[in-house]
Amino acid sequence: MKILIRRFLLLLITQPTFAAAPSSSPKNLAIVIDDFGNNMPGTEEILNLPIKLTVAVMPFLPSTKTDAELAFNNGHDVLVHLPMEPKKGKKNWLGPQAITTDLSDDEIRRRVEAAIQDVPHAVGMNHHMGSKATEDERVMRIVLDICKKNGLFYLDSKTTGKSVVSKLATEMNVPFLENDLFFDHVYTTQHIKKQAQLLDRKLLENERIIAIGHVGVSGPIMVDVLKEYIPVFQDKAEIVGLSDLIPEYKILDKGLE
């Protein structure tokens, strides 16, 4: 409980505030950028954007700590970007200490706890890759249980249509959110701009949108597109961190159990 309140107060006290969007706007947009932690292209430019972002940092990598610290100091929300087993893809894309479905319960528990310890200031978690592991009830039950014990919410990037996150998180009373749109499945300016336009149209019909982009190959393009579209999005919605979408009583409630 103490840790949770401290985490909450730190958020209130030490984070800089960004220029407020029109307060009459009831709509919220949260932009999540994945794959920090490995000195990826676009890192500094993204972290210096003048909006509150949610920054997902992979554990156990060369710039894990510096990226998480800079993100926090610049007022962004930090997530643990936990590497999890995909159906396709090379093992070395996953990074160190990934969660794979062949691990024992104890080993999964140990790795998830270590990942949380490794990423300073994390308020939530999402997964890197993970199309296989997020369909696995045994694995996700352990991951969500540890999130709950550490006061973290979970963002399901929905890299598979059969993710068990929403079902388990609801059952286990872990706050969770779901991705609505990826900016950069294809690494071209044309595609990322098309997704930004799609997001802008979705804001007309939806009260809340969560969208995910990446540093890395598409990082520098993400920076340019976001710079162009931030004012466009701000006409329709307030750009917020993911933690702003989780009512704080839920976070405090969990500490009382």
Q: Tell the smallest beta-carbon distance from residue 3 to Zn ion (Å).
A: 27
Closer CB to Zn ion, residue 35 or residue 77?
Answer: 35
Chain residue at closest Cβ approach to Zn ion: 128
Compare residues 7 and 128 and give the one whose CB is closer to Zn ion: 128
Residue in the structure block whose two tokens are 């071209």: 188
Contacts of 195 (CB under 8 A, 6+ apart): 181, 182, 183, 184, 211
3 state SS for 184-214: CCCCCHHHHHHHHHHHHHHHHHCCEEEEEEE
Name the helix (H) or strand (E) containing 134: none
- Minimal distance, residue 133 CB to Zn ion, in Å: 13
Residue 20 beta carbon to Zn ion: minimum distance, rounded to whole angstroms: 30
Residue placing its CB nearer to Zn ion in the complex, 21 or 98: 98
Cβ nearer to Zn ion, comparing 21 with 47: 47
**Shortest spacing between CB 129 and Zn ion, in angstroms:** 6
78 bridge partner residues: 55, 122
How does DSSP classify residue 234? H
Residues forming contacts to Zn ion in the complex (CB under 5 A) are 34-35, 128
